[in-house]
Copies of this chain bind each other. A is one copy, B any other.
Amino acid sequence: MHESRASERGDSVTGRALAVLDSFDAEHRRQPLGAIARRTGLPLTTVHRLVHELERHEALVRGPDGDWEIGSKIWRLGTLASVHVDLREVALPYMEDVYALGNDAVQIAVLDGLRCLVVDRIAGSRTMSVLSKPGSRLPLHATGVGKVLLAFGTTELQEAVLGSLDRYTDRTITDAETLRPQLRTIRSQGFAVTREELTPGATSVAVPLRGRRGAVTAALGVVSPSESAEVSKMVPVLQVTAAALSSKLVETGLA
């Protein structure tokens, strides 16, 4: 299926270079040349030329074992993105405050297609290590922050997500008719709770963050071990923080 010239598939050099970068993810942080070629579907020679060109411009670096990985130039450019500047940088002190109040891991996420994108999390050395890392894309229906984004999302989003609900634990809600009223409750009560729906042993609580025009643009949540989770304590802390943070986000211009 990869027998025709790249140009016959209507892609540009820029597109192909970005496809190379896009072949990297958390499970494929470091890759040999052949793996990149296989994952992109591009001919080996093309990938070979592209990775070397990307290396020349510091977008990729090559480790001592010859494997390729994303270079710090990309990271540095990424710190200019709105998700970093307008959200993460603004939210971080507030997340610190939430963390200081309960020593529970704190995270923020935004909507990204049909998933939520974890923007950052605060986790001291004593908190849960299962917490998803920045850059992770999580299911909307099985995480606190995801449910918030889903509940306050468009009808189209909800229908698309409810159309296929994957299972992660035996607590995951995979029945649309069970989840739909939950979303309505989340909307009205202004917070979401998930109990071991993505990860065994982890309970999370999340609230919406609003940007300009009051639109829900992100979600703030905490994740705790289920046996020590204090939902009724977490909710007011999160809601007060979210109100202050939302004001700040309006100021700094998050869309």
Chain A positions near chain B (C-beta within 8 angstroms): 12-15, 17-19, 21-22, 24-26, 29, 50, 53-54, 56-57, 59, 61, 63-64, 69-85, 89, 92-94, 96-97, 99-100, 110, 112, 117, 122-125, 133-135, 255
- Are A75 and B84 within 8 A (Cβ)? yes
Which one, B74, B99, B123, B134, contacts A74 given CB within 8 A? Answer: B74
Q: Which residues of B contact A92 (CB under 8 A)?
A: 122-123
- Are A93 and B124 within 8 A (Cβ)? yes
Q: Which residues of B contact A85 (CB under 8 A)?
A: 29
A120 CB to nearest B CB, Å:
9
30 pairs across A/B with beta carbons < 8 Å? A12-B53, A13-B13, A13-B17, A14-B14, A14-B50, A14-B53, A14-B57, A15-B56, A18-B59, A19-B57, A24-B77, A29-B85, A64-B255, A69-B80, A69-B82, A70-B80, A70-B82, A72-B112, A74-B74, A74-B81, A75-B78, A75-B84, A76-B135, A78-B78, A78-B135, A79-B134, A79-B135, A92-B123, A93-B125, A97-B124
- Are B78 and A76 within 8 A (Cβ)? yes
Cα separation A73 to B83 with both chains bound (whole Å):
10
A204 CB to nearest B CB, Å:
19
A52 CB to nearest B CB, Å:
10
Cα separation A82 to B60 with both chains bound (whole Å):
11
Q: Which residues of B contact A255 (CB under 8 A)?
A: 63-64
Q: Which residues of B contact A26 (CB under 8 A)?
A: 80
- Are B124 and A80 within 8 A (Cβ)? no
Q: Which residues of B contact A22 (CB under 8 A)?
A: 57, 73, 77
In the complex, the chain B residue whose C-beta lies closest to that of A110 is B72
Q: Which residues of B contact A80 (CB under 8 A)?
A: 24-26, 29, 69-70, 135
Cα separation A155 to B26 with both chains bound (whole Å):
37
- Are B81 and A97 within 8 A (Cβ)? no
- Are B79 and A75 within 8 A (Cβ)? yes
Q: Which residues of B contact A99 (CB under 8 A)?
A: 96
Which one, B12, B59, B81, contacts A71 given CB within 8 A? Answer: B81
- Known contacts A14-B53, A53-B14; A97 and B125 CB within 8 A of each other: yes
Top 4 A-B residue pairs of the complex, sorted by shortest distance between their CB atoms: A78-B78, A79-B135, A75-B78, A13-B13
Q: A18-B59, A75-B79 are in contact. List 10 more A-B contacts (CB 8 A).
A: A14-B50, A14-B54, A15-B53, A15-B57, A76-B78, A76-B135, A78-B78, A79-B135, A93-B123, A100-B124
